[in-house]
Amino acid sequence: MNALQPWHIIILVLVVVLLFGAKRLPDAARSIGKSMKIFKAETKDMAGDKAAETEEVETKQLPQATTPAPAANAQDKQVADLQRQLDELKKQQAATPAPAEQAQKNAS
């Protein structure tokens, strides 16, 4: 009873033709077809990218810890030096007030 009957479809087609015109309907159908084609290509591309990423993640492995002890000590020394430099920069930054703070002090 509530199903779409053939005369319903005929009325819908006539209304669409009257609203848009017979000349614009083929162009609209063509543009919808192109849009669907682009959409499908993009979704396939995205799915391919995800598959490639998961394969890449699965195949990547961390290298074995085969670095000799002196190289590890050198890396530890570099890390310690960088940490010391960072601490010094933080102290310098804390010691010098920000330009906005200086402007507020000058204004008062």
pLDDT in tens, 10-55: 999 889 888 888 888 888 889 999 999 999 999 998 888 776 666 6
* Residue 104 located in a structural domain: no
pLDDT at 93: 84
* Residue 28 located in a structural domain: yes
* Residue 29 located in a structural domain: yes
* Nearest-angstrom CA–CA distance, 56 and 51: 9
Residue 25 CB coordination number (10 Å): 14
By residue range, what is the domain housing residue 33?
Answer: 6-57+70-97
Are 31 and 24 in contact, with CB atoms under 8 Å apart?
no
* Residue 107 located in a structural domain: no
pLDDT at 47: 83
Number of domains in the chain: 1
* Residue 76 located in a structural domain: yes
Are 107 and 99 in contact, with CB atoms under 8 Å apart?
no
Q: What is the pLDDT of residues 65-95, one digit of tens each?
A: 555 566 678 888 888 998 999 899 888 888 8
